[in-house]
Structure 1
Amino acid sequence: MGARDPAEDLRLWRAWRATGDPAAREALVARCVPLVHWVVDRLGYLARGRAERDELISAGLVGLLRALEGYDEARGVPLAGFVVAHVRGAIRDAFRELDWLGRARRRQVRRAAEALAALEAELGRPAADAEVAARLGLSLEAYHALLEDAARMPWRTVVLARDGGDTTDDGAPDDVDDTRTAALPAREAGPLDRLLADEQARALGRAIASLAPEDQQLLHLHYVEERPFREIARALGLSPSALRRRHAAILLRLRGRLVRSA
């Protein structure tokens, strides 16, 4: 997201709320608009083409304006963090309403993960796309289309959601925390909550450690360094579509390994 001065964010917000001056509001919005683009860059792989990306930006701007109206500095939450939370929440809501993939397609993605895991267990090596397509009874083109759709799904939905898990599989972009509530006081986790979360984290860590180094590198670049896919594609010398498919295949591999180890 880059370096920001929280004091300047707060100064502009206070100036606007104290006076209601449209110029102060315009300056505050202009300062926060880059936060919308930062979130869209993180979630932009959900969009097919410029028109759908513009839909995400429009939804994010609505979230930005609502955040500025609803911000309460007495809660001690940084303004930028509050804005990002609401922008992501607005995009999440918009994505759910559009439901670009649908539940049936998401179930197909999870079935592909199971097939990939079984095939690689038999082969003792990573499976080629053509081999996975054959196992699924698909053409290579149809399998690549499935990977493209999987690349637009939240990573948690691909990797962690239970098959048919209606409570988590809404298709909304939750590849980061559910940030509409990130700035709110969380329910205190009980011992069982912590135990389950710790075990899931350990299992996911083991699955990631079992990946090829180049696959681990891609996950690190995107999820740890928070670099957009288009930037990673340039760095790795791949086309954006090839990188999306590779990323989706990694997520399928992770899901399959988690399911088989459960």
Structure 2
Amino acid sequence: MNSKNSPLEQELWEDWIKNRSGDAANELIANYMYLVNFHTERISSHLPSRVSKDDVKSFGLLGLYDALKKFDPGRDLKFDTYASFRIKGSIIDGLRKEDWLPRSIREKTKKVEQAAEHFEQKHQREASSEEIAEITGMSADEVETAIKDSLFGNILSIEEKPKGGKTDLKEGIGYSIPDDTAILPDRHVMQDEMKGELIEGIKYLNEKEQLVISLFYNEELTFTEIGQIIGLTTSRISQIHKRSIFKLRKSLTKMQVFN
């Protein structure tokens, strides 16, 4: 909630906060549903095709409702910002509980990572997806998909809650609300270093790959929106993104930790 809300939105918020009106809640959820759709699109782009986007959206909707219930209008924080973190956290939490990455895929990603590491040690350069495919007996497309799955798997493992002791306070990347007034110097330096590595890595992508990565990670557009800009189908943008992630896998894995 903020001062720029329309009179109708302001009335809905007041009705919800004072009376916990179910009708007001439904209207507010509908009003902020675009946040659920946005995070569903972005997170789904990193998931295997077997993971239902409807399931991801359901997790996000739970996060939006949770944000609505727990939002404190007295805090100097926009609801959009608070809800975004709750939605993202709820999706990641739901995916982790569902164990979306089966053992067969985990073994495949491990095989790809090991092959890539051995190749780099031997040849002193990063391997292409074709070279890793030759080593592992997989196709280049399977290699790129494994890297994409591995990237999001790393994020889910980072999101694991501490074991032992129950608490209502959710911690982790998805649930933490950043305090922009208290950025730790070492964290700030590390973020700059990671971004520097990503920028350097992007230079080695072709023009179309650079554009897709820039629009997705910097402008935060969905694949559908990027496709409309470039004039390609959503599936083609997904393929370009997957190939780009393979080339940038080290930098992007580090960057995702701080997003």
Q: TM-score, normalised by structure 2?
A: 0.72
8 Å CA contact retained: 1:12, 1:28: yes
Whether the 8 Å contact between 2:112 and 2:136 is mirrored in structure 1 is no
Is contact 1:144–1:245 with CA below 8 Å preserved after alignment? Answer: no
User: In structure 2, what is the Cα distance between the partners aligned to 1:249 and 1:113?
Assistant: 15
How large is the RMSD of aligned CA atoms in angstroms? 3.8
Deviations 1:55-104 (A, max 9, x none): 11111111111100000011111112211211111001011122322554
Distance 2:68 2:159 in 1: 30
One of 211, 214, 223 as aligned partner of 2:205: 211
- Summarize the Cα distance change of 1:119–1:100 in structure 2 as closer, same or farther, 3 Å threshold: farther
More displaced stretch, 103-112 vs 10-19: 103-112
User: Which ranges in structure 2 are unaligned for 5 or more consecutive residues?
Assistant: 161-171, 254-259
Q: Deviations over 1:31-61 (max 9, x none)?
A: 1222211211222224555871111111111
Deviation at residue 113 of structure 1 after TM alignment: 5.0
TM-score by length of 1: 0.71
AA partner of residue 249 (structure 2): R
Residue in structure 2 matched with residue 146 of structure 1 by the alignment: 143
Q: Is the 8 A contact 2:60 2:90 kept in 1?
A: yes
Shift of 1:16: 1.4
How big is the shift at 1:23? 1.9
SS in 2 for 1:147: helix
* Alignment: residue pair count: 235
The reply on whether 1:168 has 2:158 as its aligned counterpart is: yes
Separation in 1, partners of 2:61, 2:111: 33
Matched, 1:18 2:2: no
State yes or no: 1:222 paired with 2:216: yes
Amino acid at match of 1:147: E
> Is the alpha carbon distance of 1:243 and 1:59 closer, same or farther for their aligned partners in structure 2, counting shifts above 3 Å?
same
Task: Identify which range, 203-212 or 44-53, moves more after superposition.
Answer: 44-53
Q: Which residue of 1 aligns with 2:58?
A: 58
1:198 alignment partner, one of 192, 197, 205: 192
Q: Which has the higher contact order (CA 8 A, sep 6+)?
A: 1
**Equivalent pairs: percent with the same residue?**
22
Aligned positions of 1:4-153 closer than 5 A: 6-8=4-6, 9-48=9-48, 52-101=52-101, 103-111=106-114, 114=117, 127=128, 129-134=129-134, 136-140=135-139, 143-152=140-149
User: What's the CA shift for 1:116?
Assistant: 7.7
Aligned letter for 1:57? K
Contact 1:59 1:87 survives alignment (8 Å): yes
